[in-house]
Amino acid sequence: MDRLRQSSERAAVVAIECVAGSSMAEEWGGDMLQTGDVVEEIKIGGSPAARSPFKGGKSGVQKLLHSAFKRGDTSIEVRVRRCGGGTAELLACIVPRGAAGRRQYVVRCIRDPNYAVGFVDRMESECIALQGSRSSRVVCALSTAKLQDGYVPYNWEKKMQEFLPVSNSSCFHSMLLLPRALDPLASRYNSLQDTLARSNAWLCSSQASGVPIEFMNAQTEALLTKISGETASATVNGGSLSDLSNASLYGFEDYHGVDIGVVKAVRLWYTPAAGELAVDIKLQEGDTKLGFAISRTEEGFIHISSVDESDNETASTRSGLGDLFRRARNSSKLLVISRVSDEKVLPWTVSSAGAIRCFDTTSLSQKLSLHRRALKPIRIHVLLWEQASAGAVPRCKAAPPHCVPLPRSSAELPVHLVVADASKIGLERDSAGDVSFRFNEICLS
């Protein structure tokens, strides 16, 4: 009896070899074919079943699969046996695997296309050992299993057209604040805490003046600059790591012996309180003025400062800009212009001297006047302060809101919202630079 059993274990059989793992937990269950299962029967399409022992072993099975695949008969049913008398079946299809010259055929599960098995020649004793080690192989497979990653295509152009309020432009805005220089040569700067405090003050002051923006994030940003060797040595050796973390300037020497300084600026990210609104101002023959005036806040935001309410035929009235301005004034908010012809006109940086870099109202008023003279439509975007502010404004396209806390109403208007007398328009030197001027009230004609 033992001699017969030993002879049986030394017999060659056609066995299953897993060649592609499954995405399902059934791969290691009793229903799926597994490495080490002994093939008992193969039935292809409507042909008679081929049973073990298979003539030619694995090569004979491959010839059966090749013939079936050539005639287009790829449906296959494989039945296997396991030690202990258990059986399992697999409904699958025949698929080629490998290069044409060395092509082998495997069978792929119909229920789970990720799972595929092939056929190999083995001794039955090897199959018994493989089946007995299934638990340890599961543990081994778990320890070696890795998550796969890859790149998938994404239609960026379509998404940016469909989902952005302004095509190809984000609703995230930022202000970059350089640390304040302590000497004319800008060799020493105030600390990082000072720059953070100034960014906080700029944001709070903007909100207090009526600019409808909300805080998003603040981050440090490293800017490279050239410094002297003395400055580099002083910043590196002058204190502890905690002191260095609060320093706005530190230096190091690169491989070529060049002293490089790193200035830590602060980038303040903010967003409109309730999105942006596109206002299309269409011009007609006979328009002698646009009907609104612009000003700029100390923080660098350009806003509509007054609207001509005496003439109902002006371009601003036809576009609904007058109604929007009154709603902003009643809510104690400024009607801030964020874009002109889809170009951002918001302030964007603060120099080491403390000056805010922003657009001047002179060049903007000239551009708007040229639009009127050329009868070219003007599209401007304004910052919204509440969701409902766009509902009653005709001929305007509202952008999807982002962060929409409703502002508190106030019966008292701040001083900067009071429309000044046109006869008292003045010109003053702008603190942002010698070549930029600021109009307190610019009437566009």
124 and 78 in one domain? yes
Give the C-alpha separation, 350 to 203, whole Å.
Answer: 13
Which residue spans within 178-282 are E strands per DSSP?
213-226, 249-253, 259-272, 276-281
Interval 327-379: pLDDT, tens: 999 999 999 999 998 889 999 999 989 999 999 999 999 998 888 888 888 89
Interval 14-31: pLDDT, tens: 988 888 766 554 555 666
228 and 369 in one domain? no
282 and 179 in one domain? no
The whole-number pLDDT of residue 148 equals 82
287 and 255 in one domain? no
423 and 348 in one domain? yes
Backbone angles phi, psi at 390, to 5 degrees: -90, -15
415 and 360 in one domain? yes
**Residue 31: left if φ>0, alpha if ψ -120 to 50, beta else—which one?**
alpha
Range with the lowest mean pLDDT among 49-58, 92-101, 131-140, 328-337? 131-140
Residue 88 has pLDDT above 70, yes or no: yes
Average pLDDT of the residues of the chain: 77
- The angle, 0 to 180 degrees and rounded to 10, between the axes of the packed helices 2-9 and 124-132 is 90
Domain C-terminal end among 144, 164, 193: 144
Neighbours of 99 (CB within 10 A): 8
**Residue 168 domain flag:** no
For residues 263-284, average pLDDT: 90
Domain C-terminal end among 238, 271, 304: 271
Give the C-alpha separation, 363 to 190, whole Å.
Answer: 34
Contacts with 176 (C-beta within 8 Å, 6 or more apart), sequence order: 221, 265, 266, 267, 268, 348, 349, 350
For residues 262-288, average pLDDT: 89
300 and 264 in one domain? no
pTM metric for this prediction: 0.61
392 and 309 in one domain? yes
**Residue 388 domain flag:** yes
320 and 400 in one domain? yes
Backbone angles phi, psi at 291, to 5 degrees: 95, 15
138 and 198 in one domain? no
**Residue 3 domain flag:** no
85 or 399: whose pLDDT is higher? 85
Domains contained in the chain, number: 3
DSSP for residue 346: S
**Residue 188 domain flag:** yes
Q: For residue 357, give the CATH number of its domain.
A: 2.30.42.10
For residues 77-105, average pLDDT: 83
293 and 266 in one domain? no
For residues 298-321, average pLDDT: 89
Q: Could you tell me the residue range of the domain that residue 244 belongs to?
A: 174-271
Residue 7 has pLDDT above 70, yes or no: no
The whole-number pLDDT of residue 405 equals 39
**Residue 66 domain flag:** yes
**Tokens coding 229:** 């060797």
Q: Which residues pair with 295 in a beta bridge?
A: 303
Neighbours of 141 (CB within 10 A): 13
Please compute, for residue 161, the number of CA atoms within 13 A of its CA located in the half-sphere on the CB side.
4
**Residue 325 domain flag:** yes
For residues 391-420, average pLDDT: 39
Backbone angles phi, psi at 134, to 5 degrees: -60, -40
Domain C-terminal end among 243, 271, 299: 271
Interval 290-308: pLDDT, tens: 889 999 999 999 999 999 8
The whole-number pLDDT of residue 357 equals 94
292 and 240 in one domain? no
Sign of the CA dihedral with 348 first, then 326, 373, and 375 last? positive
**Residue 406 domain flag:** yes
Q: Nearest-CA neighbor of 294 among 255, 348, 338?
A: 338
Residue 318 has pLDDT above 60, yes or no: yes
Composition of the chain by helix, strand, coil, percent to 5 = 30, 30, 40
**Residue 158 domain flag:** no
The whole-number pLDDT of residue 186 equals 64
